[in-house]
Amino acid sequence: MTGYYAQSFCGREEYLQSVSSCIKTMQLMGIKTAFLPMGVQCDIASSKSIRDSVINRLKVVGKMAKEAGVVIAIETALSAKQEKQLLKEIGSPAIKIYFNFSNPLKGGRNLYKELKTLGAKNIAMIHATNKDSVWLENDPQINLYKIKKTLDKMKWKGWLVVERSRDASQPRNVKYNYGANVAYLKKVFQPEQP
């Protein structure tokens, strides 16, 4: 539901229709997890006044997702401790976190501690990216081997989503950038067995 990057999930009156359409599509395609970005308009980390509205809407979405047997993953700029509290307030096992490496890094938080604090059961998917400038393997803020070790200790399994982390010298060369990042993720997370 990436359209909610441009639209306001907390302000759109017809949000139930779009969520319902997404869940129906998930069922038809056999997909178990969808992504619902909170976007700038619904950033509860910087706008406390909309928190109750967002939580109430996510309670409804969580009920719909649970009844359909699917999970809706949300991304926030909150700390892991705050995200755990948010999930507790929403109260649905069908709402989990879409963990983005760049969020704790931008917030000055320890990426590895944030993963541990949030816990495997609360993470639906991981957005394996940081800001644009370098590939993942050249990013001084991310030690992917340490991340893998942390996730393995947590016994987390799931999808890693690739985006951004582009080489600043060739930002428009999609194949070059994504190819390099995917190859590195595979090298770290799916090493060839002898």
Residue 111 lies in a domain: no
For the chain, which ranges sit under pLDDT 70? 193-194
pLDDT of residue 194: 60
Residue 18 lies in a domain: yes
pLDDT of residue 62: 98
Q: What distances in angstroms separate CA 42 from CA 23, 113, 136, 156, one per listed residue?
A: 21, 25, 28, 28
Question: Does 134 share its domain with 92?
Answer: no
- The SS3 call for residue 180 is helix
Q: For the chain, how many structural domains are there in total?
A: 2
Helix extents (H) in the chain? 15-29, 51-68, 80-90, 102-106, 111-118, 144-154, 174-189
Token duo for residue 165: 């982390």
Residue 54 lies in a domain: yes
Question: Does 88 share its domain with 13?
Answer: yes
Asked whether 113 and 86 are in contact (CB, 8 A), the reply is no
Token duo for residue 186: 């595979």
3-state secondary structure labels for all residues of 61-95: HHHHHHHHCCEEEEECCCCHHHHHHHHHHHCCCCE
Question: Does 136 share its domain with 60?
Answer: no
Question: Does 95 share its domain with 133?
Answer: no
Q: What is the pTM of this model?
A: 0.91
Q: What is the CATH number of the domain that holds 38?
A: 3.20.20.150
Domain that holds residue 33: 1-99
Question: Does 74 share its domain with 20?
Answer: yes
Residue 79 lies in a domain: yes
Q: What is the pLDDT of residues 99-152, one digit of tens each?
A: 999 999 999 999 999 999 999 999 999 999 998 889 999 999 999 999 999 999
pLDDT of residue 193: 65
